[in-house]
Structure 1
Amino acid sequence: MAYDYDGRYAEDMAEWKEILADAIKQMMFVSGETGEVSPETTGMIEEIVRQQVIEMVGGGDAADFAGGEDATAAGVLGGGGPTADGAKKNKKAKVGLPWDVASFYAEQVPERDDEEDEDEEEMNYATLQRLKNADERTKHMTREEYVHWSECRQASFTFRKGKRFKEWAGFGIVTDSKPNDDIVDILGFLTFEIVQTLTEEALKVKEAEDLVKRESGGENAQNRKRKRETGLFDPPEEGRTPIESRHVQEAFRRLQHRSNKGRAMRNFSRALNRTPLKL
């Protein structure tokens, strides 16, 4: 039974939306957003994530799920078993996300070995930077604060939500495939990565916007005096506000138009021919 977005299962959908919103807030918290984000912001992130998952599911259906066979991890990641000649190439299979510009084209320029090395270096740098940021945020936490942090890191779209997630992601609608547990786990990991990347980019957008406002005097006295209640681990900033939907939208735009060398999430699989998501 698929969810009816016209209201047939409105009560169930409202509960599912609330579950997703809570998970997104926890993911955003781990990614650096310590404020209380609005339902509009979490709703936009949810829709972006859902469209990315649907695009990946649809692409997997076209390329690997034909014939009514159950979906496999290799299918989603774009691989079969590597041949002797292609083992090295297939070892770094990538998931092409719909916001990647290269995925708009059917023909792809073959990658060079040095490009793969650069990609791996960038991925390692991004991972190390996230670990460094996490260490800075957690090293002075109390035991209770660290427990909360650890719980937020376990946030998931899929854990103990498999059936709802499959319906939400379009299995049975955009594809007739029946995903196994490995597929759901992989998509759960990717959805966290999408939320994390969007949040990190949106924070950069907001930081630049706030800097312009401060330098131009665009913030009036009332806004400077306005305070929100400080939440757990909030920095002691006066008037600090969370990212809003416009910051998320701009972050998504930047990720869509980022060059090949700058795409942080490029390393997940082969590029598939897809159309861009319009917000």
Structure 2
Amino acid sequence: MADNRAKYRTEIQQMMFVSGETGDVSPETTSMIENIVQQQVMEMLKRATDLAGRRGVRTISTDDLIFLIRHDKAKVSRLRTFLSWKDVRKSAKDSEDKGGGGGDAAGGIEDFDIAAADPTLGSGPSVGTRNSKNKKAKVGLPWDVSSFYSEQVPEREDEEDEEEEEMNAATLQRLKQADERTKGMNADEYLHFSECRQASFTFRKGKRFREWAGFGVVTDSKPNDDIVDILGFLTYEIVTLLTEEALKVKAAEDALKRDSGGADDEALKGRKRNRVEPGLFDPPEEARTPVGPKHIHEAFRRLQTPDIKSRYMHHIHKGNWQRPLKLI
């Protein structure tokens, strides 16, 4: 297990770099992130196995995993889009193998990478195009209202539901952030950034990921390719959220240090120095330092903060009851 953790260090560094971190992250930081991601994945498998048991089966399905993140509509929508494009890619490959005009069919999705699901940060079509022959199909979910009826309303081309609107807003925000991060890059730096966007826990590492995630230990279910790909998408999201939140923690800490003028904690209790703006001939500021384990720890603590509805009647004493792990 330790050998597998060491091999994932590069992938975590690349994911953090794309999320706004520097390219020089300490092994302690990457190890802490990997432990958090592994804990999250094992918790997902445990809950998905419980859901499958309620249905009277032993094998978990893609619906069980999607059900765990159902409250994050934007993430669910991106995941459904990913699964739809993956089906298009598979159909195009099958038609190409059978000699049924696969050259034209695969033309718009040759660059489709199933390492993760977000087209802005990792997987998805790096050059995403649609055509009439390869239109992605919408992935239905058992708890959708439309699934309760035998007759389905025909979909329109210009119709977008609430989840797609939230997904588009989140995607545009990430595209804006990526544009800001790459604004001053040269060609070589941007090439490295593009390569880091393809980092994944699962892409071409399926067997190693199954052992690392706890298949056969946490659950007896044998995962198919869709299960592994969904977990690859979710692990990418976890690293991204942890990195972005840790950067906020570090930014607040750095701002406090600048405002205090480097004073120690005892001095800060009694007074607070005014911030001194750099002069014309002052030396340049030090290079930005990467986040550390303490920033990751605080970021994880913040992400574990329960929602308002989850804190209902939390003031009532519950003995030794411990709040369950929150999926991020």
- With normalisation by structure 1, the TM-score equals 0.67
> Out of 34, 43, 51, which is 1:63 matched to?
51
Structure 1 letter corresponding to 2:34: E
> Structure 1, residues 39-76: CA drift from partner, whole Å, max 9, x if none?
11101100000011001011110102676654332232
DSSP 3-state at the match of 1:187:
helix
Aligned counterpart for 1:160 among listed residues 204, 213, 223: 204
- Structure 2 match to 1:26: 14
Q: Pairwise CA RMSD of aligned residues?
A: 3.0
Distance 1:48 1:141, change over 3 A: same
Match of 1:238 among 282, 286, 301: 286
**8 Å contact from structure 1 (residues 35, 241) kept in 2:** no
Unaligned residue ranges in structure 1 (runs of 5+): 4-12, 89-115, 221-235, 262-273
Residue correspondence of structure 1 range 247-262 to structure 2 within 5 A: 247-257=295-305, 259=307
Pick one of 52, 55, 65 that aligns with 1:76: 65
Radius of gyration: which is bigger?
A: 2
Any unmatched runs of 5+ in structure 2? 71-139, 149-160, 265-283, 310-322
The corresponding residue for 2:103 is none
1:238-261 CA deviation, whole Å, 9 max, x = no partner? 142110000001001111115359
1:139-183 Cα offsets, whole Å, 9 max, x none, are 443222121111100000011111111111111011000010001
Inter-partner Cα distance in structure 1 for 2:249 and 2:26:
17
CA distance in 2, matches of 1:71, 1:177: 6
Query: Matched residue of 2:303: which SS?
Result: helix
Q: Which amino acid aligns with 1:71?
A: I
Partner of 1:227: none
Instruction: Check the 8 A contact 1:58/1:175 in 2, yes or no.
Output: yes
2:257 aligned partner, one-letter code: K
Relative distance call for 1:63 and 1:143 in structure 2 (3 A) is: same
Alignment of 1:1-279 (within 5 A): 3=1, 13-14=2-3, 16-64=4-52, 69-78=58-67, 82=142, 85=145, 87=147, 124-218=168-262, 237-257=285-305, 259=307, 275-276=324-325
Pair 35,212 (structure 1): closer, same or farther in 2 beyond 3 Å: farther
Higher relative contact order (CA 8 A, sep 6+): 1
Q: Distance in 1 between matches of 2:144 and 2:236?
A: 34
Give the length in aligned residue pairs. Answer: 211
Give the Cα–Cα distance (whole angstroms) in 1 for the partners of residues 256 and 167 of structure 2: 30
C-alpha spacing 1:84/1:176, structure 2 compared with 1 (3 Å): closer
Query: Cα 1:201–1:122, aligned 2, differ >3 Å: closer, same or farther?
Result: farther
Q: CA offsets, 1:97-134, max 9 Å, x none?
A: xxxxxxxxxxxxxxxxxxx95x8766544432221011
Partner of 2:113: none
Q: 1:176 and 1:186 mapped to 2: Cα distance?
A: 18
Alignment-mate amino acid for residue 192 of structure 1 = Y
Residue 183 of structure 1 aligns to a residue whose secondary structure is helix
